[in-house]
Structure 1
Amino acid sequence: MRDLVSGVLTVSQAEDFGKYLGLPSVVGRNRRAVFAYIEQKLRQRFGSWNKRLLSKAGKEVLLKSVAQAMPTYTMSIYLIPITLCASLERLMNRYWWGHGGQGSSIHWLAWDRMCKPKKHGGMGFKRLHEFNLALLAKQGWRLLTNPTSLMARVFKARYFPTTSFYEAVMGGNPSYVWRSIMASQDLLKSGCRRRIGNGASTQVWTAPWLPDHQNPYIETDQVDHAHPMRVSDLIDSHTGTWNHEILHHLFNPRDVDLILRLPVCMEYEDIWRVDIINVCPLCGLVEECVMHIFCLCPYAINVWQLSQFQIPPFANRNFIQWTEEWLGGTTGFTREQQWKICGILHSIWTARNSAVWESAVPLPTMLIRRCLASWTSWVDSQQRIYGENSTRAVQSHASGETSAPSSRCFVDASFHGPERYAAFGFVVLDANSTFVAAANGPLSCPYDPLLAEAMAMCEALSWLKDNGYTGGEIYTDSAVLVLFINREANHVAHSLSKHVSALAERSFWRDVPPPFILPLVANAI
């Protein structure tokens, strides 16, 4: 066809359509040939670099700052063929292991392993195809979050006039730029979520808006296919909260529970956000969580083994349960042992932060040495500052020996009804177990028992401080916070937090207990 047209018009055929703003003007079927100029430029650079005697550090800088940056501009617009990406990576790998361009050399490490982060044993080089998709996903993110831009309006008018980029499809006779951006749509969808404000612009059945990493969509079968339902239809416009009656009528228990976890703010519009799954920075293998960081990560397991501490097993426990095993008042661990375990936990957390912010992880042996050195320095500092009396006090406290308390405060938190409204309660007794004061009231707290117990503890400590108490003991039925007692021994504070008055307002009683706990206080005395 090209020969026929050129013959009829008596014009010569151009082998290359040229570039505009550094990009190919026309992208035909042979895309490897269209983008071959990237490989040619890279070969020229490597030819000049091979004449230099560079160390591995110098080669690393050139590869990362120059070679892998050269195709970035083209990759942000077009999807480069996978075969071309592989060819570019082979050139980089050959240059890394080569010796001045003199023949072939042994590649002691596969390129896939060299592309891993340095803290995981690699060199931190980019995988060009994955990097290409990430750059194109940024273009898709702009189409999704900035629909009023000129680029977004042009693409929307041509390819998705009635939807957003999230629901867009390839369409008929698309340009190669649109094909390239659509190649990253699945990547964008895997981490793209709706943050609910007033719910007016989010569809209930098709948008990813539930707080679930694995499946952010509604699982309940759609009731009415004719009329698309918005999230705002599930919100009570008078109270600005979720309409529980509608939720329980339309959705299954799993969806209802996830919806009720979402806060509602009628003053803000819905926006798109990126849901980033936190991968453990120490091992890079699984999703980061508290139990994994401190106990189950291979790095943490190595640290605990080197410490030689007799700690409870990790199996079939969450972090709170495991902590209660060695921090609770009924365990056989002395205060000194508990403090050292806390020191190792802090050291593991410091190593985790070092991996995140400094891209460096200390060796487990070095971490243990630093932890023990810190403990020794702290004990020595206490001896120097406070002298012999402080030494005896520290040793007495570490062995668990305490004097009789001047007062005792029992604290508890609880949740009320299916809405799980939080409330606190505490009671203060003197050294003779005589009633001193009591209080209860509501808490602004999500459904998190440990957080509710901590907030209740804060309320009690604030009251004790404001009323001149400087010593004493505080008890709760949460072994993670302070001195642990069972629920039966904490029944007075529990009754205060569960009483209906706790949800109405803050209440305080001095000298005379409220009637509903009077029998319990009498039994406690």
Structure 2
Amino acid sequence: MSTKIGHDPWLPTEDNPFITTSLPEAIYEAPVSSLLNMQGLGWDEECVKDIFNERDASIVLNIPVSLRRPSDAWVWYKEAKGEYTVKSAYRMLVGELQDNRPWRLLWNLKTDESARYLFMDCTDAVAMWTTIGLSSPTLGQDDMQCKFVMLCWGLWGSRNNKVWNGNAFDCNAVIHSSLTFLTNWKAAYDPMLTTQGSGGRLLKWKAPSPDRLKMNTDIAMDIHHNIMGLGWVLRDHHGMFLAAKAMQISGNYSVQEAEAVCIREALSWLKGTGMGDVDIETDSQLVYYALSSNPFISTFGFLIDDIKEVASMIEGVDFCFVKRSANRAAHIVAREAVSLTGCGEWFDTPPLYLVDCLLSDLMN
């Protein structure tokens, strides 16, 4: 199967999965794989930005690429595992047939007339509400309110960006960045207190068993600048620092996709060091469960398969899920990676910004 750039609906977006850029016939019929770099391991960013309009280029460049070069396959976009289900199709159709937008939620915020225009009467706002389809009955009331408020926030930010910087409104970009921010916030707001029996204390980092290593991984995302920070920290069974790396990549993936990419990159780095017998810790429960599940066809599934393949090349790799409070060191490194000045690689001696966290973990 060869997915064609202009002919097939291959963009993962709720609005319009087709390329909207006007293309010459040769590019229209060309395979999507021709947009990858020479190694086939990522998008040719310069080529993508040169061919497509801003909307299309943004969506394409925010699709993670598998390192295994899997064959083209059609997936059902409405399910995380890419498999068609009658239930998901029903939800999609019901959502499209109903149009009960939660305008009353906006009026309850006691907004003035200018806000009414911005959030309801403005043609850009109308296009956004039409695109997102908040009327789906499958959404709980609280979830619907969260999405609605976040999209209003995104619309306001886009308005300011147009007024002060002259940047045109991009409906898909606003929706993507706003909902990604909401998803990331929810993931970060995971309660850090342990369950019954913990005495209400925060879970702390624990050293691995003797003769094993432990590598913690985490991500940080800057949706406004379209960049992600990846970070990992490697320690021995005494809790002593061995190595760490902070790297920055372009894009604005979903949280689980970004977490999976981070683990994949960390394992590739570990493979290059020749070390093994390591516990890989992540605070993403979705990624952890996916790593122990059967293969599934989707962008996220391909990334999980990448991780499994790299892990199979390293001796003694085990995956573990931990609460965010036990993963602070990796999070600090990832957060610093968002800044270009914070990127780097360290062996034996940690970066200064990480010292206090490492000492705290050792004391516990």
TM (norm. structure 2) is 0.38
TM (norm. structure 1) is 0.28
Higher RCO (Cα < 8 Å, 6 or more apart): 2
| Bigger Rg, which one | 1
